[in-house]
Amino acid sequence: MSLQIGPALRSGGESLLSRTGAVLLAAYIALMAALLPLSNTMIVRIYERVGLAEAAGVIPLVLDVPLSVAVGGYLLGTLVGAYLSLVAVRTFVSGDGRQFPSGAFTRNVPLAIANLVAGGLVYGLLVALGTAAFVIPGIVAYIAFLFMLPYVAVEDRNFVDALRSSYRLSSGNWLVLGVLLLVVFGFAGVVGAVVGLVSGLLLPPALGQLSLAFVQSPVSLFSLAVVAAAFEQLREADDDHGGATPATETPSTPA
């Protein structure tokens, strides 16, 4: 069975607008608001070290902390982001927008985050290598391993097993998944361009950057919700055709 784009987009929107979606969105906005000055501070401190103090002076939202503190804070924020993604995917796959599923915040968190970080690095490397090899292989890698996150979050797989399972589940649906991602990224690009243009014309630099951060949060969360919906749709179809289910398949021991 091919992936149905309309239902995946609709499910993603409903998840974002649900009660749990609102809670997750608030957490995402708070994280984005914290990461922005840390990111700006890292850029300014690097500019200062290479003698570009004049360029550094026009960047807003800079903290009065050294580069090491900014880098440490940003890395910590990245781990918080991985944790929020873990909780979000578990919540969206459950399909109940009224309450968070049991264990969404606590189940296997350290190992899951470790696998997300390691898997994310491997995923990024595969995409980068594929992109370097005439672009198309990179796009295929991005699509084929898209479900690494849901497999780690929902089924407690280690990242190697998650990448392998994602490839198997996505096979035969690469073109449809590519169209789905194109729709999501196209929407995100249009919204970002409009907000960026309006904020650049009407708002001071600091508020303009914050407005983009506030827009990026729902867009990122919507993208996760759509991926979760596509994952659940294909997983259910796979179960109907004799694939292993979470209830009958023994998950791999997390790495």
Give me the domain span that covers residue 190.
5-240
| pLDDT tens-place string over residues 196-248 | 888 888 889 888 888 888 888 999 999 999 999 999 999 998 876 665 444 33
17 located within any domain? yes
209 located within any domain? yes
56 located within any domain? yes
Q: Which residue matches tokens 């361009």?
A: 193
74 located within any domain? yes
What is the mean predicted confidence (pLDDT) over 69-95? Answer: 96
Six token digits for residue 68: 């090491």
245 located within any domain? no
- The fraction of the chain above a pLDDT of 90, given in percent, is 75
1 pLDDT tier (thresholds 50, 70, 90): low
113 located within any domain? yes
What is the mean predicted confidence (pLDDT) over 111-121? Answer: 96
Neighbouring residues of 21: CB distance < 8 A, sequence distance ≥ 6: 15, 97, 221, 225
Q: What is the pLDDT of residue 56?
A: 85
Cβ atoms < 10 Å from Cβ of 200:
12
- Asked whether residue 5 carries a pLDDT value surpassing 80, the answer given is yes
Q: Closest Cα partner for 112 from 144, 159, 167, 145?
A: 159
13 located within any domain? yes
Q: What is the pLDDT of residue 242?
A: 61
Q: What is the pLDDT of residue 249?
A: 41
| pLDDT tens-place string over residues 151-201 | 999 999 999 999 999 999 999 999 999 999 999 999 999 988 888 888 888
What is the mean predicted confidence (pLDDT) over 110-117? Answer: 97
Number of structural domains, the chain?
Answer: 1
Integer Rg of the chain from CA? 20
12 located within any domain? yes
